Amino acid sequence: MATYAIGDLQGCHRHFLDLLDLTGFNSTRDRLWLVGDIVNRGPDSLSLLRTLMALGDTVTMVLGNHDLHLLAVAAGSAQLKHGDTLQPLLDAQDSKVLLDWLKCQRLFYHEDEYALVHAGLLPAWHTEQAAMLAQEVEAIIHSDQFQMFSQSMYGNAPDCWQDTLRGESRWRVIINAMTRMRVCSPKGRMNFSYKEGLSAIPQGLLPWFEIPWRASKDATIVFGHWSALGLHLTPNLIALDTGCVWQGCLTAIRLEDRKVFQVPCA
Per-residue pLDDT for the chain (266 aa), expressed as one digit of tens each?
Answer: 999 999 999 999 999 999 999 999 999 999 999 999 999 999 999 999 999 999 999 999 999 999 999 999 999 999 999 999 999 999 999 999 999 999 999 999 999 999 999 999 999 999 999 999 999 999 999 999 999 999 999 999 999 999 999 999 999 999 999 999 999 999 999 999 999 999 999 999 999 999 999 999 999 999 999 999 999 999 999 999 999 999 999 999 999 999 999 999 97
Distance separating alpha carbons of residues 130 and 114, to the nearest angstrom? 13
Q: How many CB atoms lie within 10 A of CB 167?
A: 9
- Residue 93 identity: Q
Q: Structural domains in the chain?
A: 3-180+219-264 (3.60.21.10)
**Structural contact between residues 37 and 64, judged by C-beta atoms closer than 8 angstroms:** yes
CA distance 67 to 42: 13
According to DSSP, residue 106 is labeled B
Q: Is 110 helix (H, G, I), strand (E, B) or coil?
A: strand
Measure CA 39 to chain center: 11
Q: pTM for this structure?
A: 0.97
User: With 0-12 CB in 10 A as exposed, 13-18 as middle and 19+ as buried, what is 123?
Assistant: buried
Q: Where does the chain have alpha helices with state H?
A: 13-23, 45-55, 65-74, 87-91, 95-103, 127-141, 146-149, 167-179
